[in-house]
């Protein structure tokens, strides 16, 4: 896996080689989202926050702002096609340290209990995301 | 003769100008009808490029239309893309502060969990519009739950109490059960168990399928050594979740509300009992 960073827009894309979309449901006009299937990750935001801080060994004090990791959950419950968005506390675009983002990405990839997006017995790939609110290197909140 | 020719020419020119104005006017009216009145962007999914593109077309006609800016902003918030979300929403707030400041406070509170900044917006709008609401709740409610998440319990207690006491002026039925839930949760965190139980019961009296309140009421009961009652409530909460009941709040499907639980949290406690 390789992270590629761009300055603006600050989006990095990490592709898992083994990850594949299951069908052709994604089109330019329609991209199913987690809320279309009621498939938020089945842990409370508070519990997820606790978990991520337990696994994050690198928590530099100068890190403040929001990191969003947006990705696809395919119809097998696997994750891939990661995109990263980063802003500071004034909601301006910034770049966090790559090492820190990789640690968050690793955490996201350890989550395995994704619900499958299903509608009328058909399984769908869908987009979802986590936003990590970071204060002094520590994750204080996770959205959604 | 020459004068008559000049007059005819002038009249023709004027007619042409008027006709051109009328034509432009009718083109503009047609565009306005299509892109704004009939909300053409709604023809597309709000995550599509077309949604943004047709809103841009509408904004080219009415750049000060705040609803158009809000509509551009909303899908970004629902994808965690806060840079664009906030950029567009700030335009709406800038153009009509009274209409959008409370909404922005709500977005910061629920969609970003940025409670400190949410409180700034919500207090500012509460000062200007003390009796208004956003997303079915008073501004003191949103300020209160923001303080609760910041663990500033005295402030949370004050604002949630204010929200409920204001509603009580209209009668007990005017109090939203989610207000009782969060005031109860604040009392629980303050270790004021008697009040917490009473407020949770008020919430349950209005909504008997509310797993979050059942879970936290069970937490209080465990604190006062009523283990069996707590266990029964947790079993009830688990059944309610399994039957599809959850916090019935605006936008809950997009983002968890503060301290909202899942089956995992219920099972975790049940396993220990």
B39 or A133: which carries more pLDDT confidence?
A133
Contacts of A45 in chain B (CB under 8 A): 113, 256, 260
Identify the band that residue B16 occupies on the pLDDT scale cut at 50, 70 and 90: low
Which of A30, A46, A143 faces B80 most closely, judged by CB atoms? A143
3-state helix, strand, coil in chain B (%, to 5): 75, 0, 25
Domain presence at residue B197: yes
pLDDT the model gives residue A10: 39
Q: At residue B47, does pLDDT exceed 90?
A: no
Q: At residue A106, does pLDDT exceed 90?
A: yes
Using one digit for the tens of pLDDT, what is the confidence trace for B217-260? 999 999 999 999 999 999 999 999 999 999 988 899 999 999 99
pLDDT the model gives residue B205: 96
pLDDT the model gives residue B26: 84
What was the ipTM of the complex prediction?
A: 0.88
Q: At residue B191, does pLDDT exceed 80?
A: yes
Domain presence at residue B156: no
Domain presence at residue B69: no
Whether the link from the prior residue into A9 is cis, omega within 30° of 0, is yes
Domain presence at residue B270: yes
Say what angle helices B193-206 and B211-223 make with each other, to 10 degrees: 160
Contacts of A33 in chain B (CB under 8 A): 47, 78-79
Stretch among A127-131, B14-18, B23-27 having the lowest mean pLDDT: B14-18
Nearest-CA distance B197 → chain A (Å) = 22
Q: What is the mean pLDDT of residues A108-117?
A: 95
Stretch among A56-60, B165-169, B195-199, B239-243 having the lowest mean pLDDT: A56-60
Q: At residue A7, does pLDDT exceed 50?
A: no
pLDDT the model gives residue A59: 87
Domain presence at residue B244: yes
Interface A:B, Cβ pairs < 8 A: 88
Q: A79-87 and A126-135 as β-strands: parallel, antiparallel, unpaired? A: unpaired
Q: What is the mean pLDDT of residues B55-83?
A: 97
* Cα angle for residues A132, A134, A136 (degrees, 5° grid): 160
pLDDT the model gives residue B27: 84
Residue-averaged pLDDT of chain B: 93
Cβ <8 Å between B82 and A87:
yes
Distances (CA, A) of B201 to B107, B208, B245: 29, 10, 18
Q: At residue A16, does pLDDT exceed 90?
A: no
Q: At residue A17, does pLDDT exceed 60?
A: no
Domain presence at residue B261: yes
Specify the number of domains making up chain B.
Answer: 1
**Which of B83, B86, B84, B91 lies closest to B66 in space, CA to CA?**
B91
What CATH number corresponds to the domain at position B244? 1.25.40.10
Residue-averaged pLDDT of chain A: 87
Using one digit for the tens of pLDDT, what is the confidence trace for A59-99? 888 899 999 999 999 999 999 999 999 999 999 999 999 99
Domain presence at residue B120: no
What is the extent of the structural domain holding B253?
179-273
pLDDT the model gives residue B118: 98
Q: What is the mean pLDDT of residues B16-23?
A: 63
Domain presence at residue B211: yes
Q: What is the DSSP string of A63-116?
A: --EEEEEEEEE-TTS-EEEEEEEEE-TTS-B----HHHHHHHHHHHHH---PPP
Cβ <8 Å between A29 and B45:
yes
């Amino acid at each position: 896996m390789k992270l590629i960073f761009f300055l603006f827009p600050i989006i990095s894309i990490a592709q898992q080689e083994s990850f594949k979309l299951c069908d052709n449901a994604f089109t330019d006009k329609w991209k199913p989202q987690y809320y279309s299937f009621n498939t938020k990750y089945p842990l409370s935001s508070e519990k997820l926050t606790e978990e991520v801080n337990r696994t994050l060994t690198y928590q530099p004090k100068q890190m403040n702002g929001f990191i969003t990791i947006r990705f696809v959950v395919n119809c097998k419950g696997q994750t891939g096609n990661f995109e990263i968005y980063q802003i500071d506390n004034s909601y301006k675009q910034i770049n966090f340290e790559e090492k820190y983002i990789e640690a968050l990405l690793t955490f996201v990839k350890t989550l395995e209990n994704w619900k499958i997006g299903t509608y009328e017995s058909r399984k769908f790939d869908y987009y979802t995301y986590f936003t990590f609110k970071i204060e002094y290197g520590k994750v204080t909140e996770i959205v959604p | 003769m020459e004068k008559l020719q000049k007059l005819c020419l002038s009249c023709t020119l004027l007619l042409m100008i008027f006709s051109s104005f009328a034509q432009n006017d009718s083109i503009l009216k047609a565009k306005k009808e299509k892109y704004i009145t009939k909300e053409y962007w709604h023809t597309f999914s709000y995550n599509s490029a077309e949604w943004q593109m047709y809103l841009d077309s509408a904004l080219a006609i009415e750049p000060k239309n705040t609803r158009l800016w809000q509509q551009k902003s909303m899908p970004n918030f629902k994808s965690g893309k806060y840079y664009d979300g906030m950029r567009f929403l700030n335009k709406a707030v800038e153009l009509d502060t009274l209409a959008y400041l409370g909404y922005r406070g709500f977005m910061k509170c629920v969609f970003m969990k940025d409670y400190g900044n949410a409180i700034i917006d919500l207090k500012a709008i509460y000062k200007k519009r003390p009796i208004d609401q956003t997303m079915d709740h008073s501004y003191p409610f949103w300020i209160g739950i923001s303080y609760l998440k910041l663990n500033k319990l005295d402030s949370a207690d004050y604002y949630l109490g204010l929200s409920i006491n204001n509603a009580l002026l209209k009668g007990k039925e005017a109090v939203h059960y989610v207000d009782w839930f969060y005031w109860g949760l604040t009392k629980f965190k303050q270790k004021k168990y008697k009040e917490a139980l009473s407020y949770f019961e008020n919430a349950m009296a209005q909504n008997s399928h509310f797993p979050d309140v059942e879970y936290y009421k069970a937490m209080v009961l465990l604190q006062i050594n009523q283990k069996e009652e707590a266990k029964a409530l947790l079993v009830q909460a688990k059944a309610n979740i399994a039957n599809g009941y959850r916090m019935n709040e605006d936008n809950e499907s997009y983002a968890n509300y503060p301290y909202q639980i899942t089956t995992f949290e219920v099972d975790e406690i049940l396993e220990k009992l």
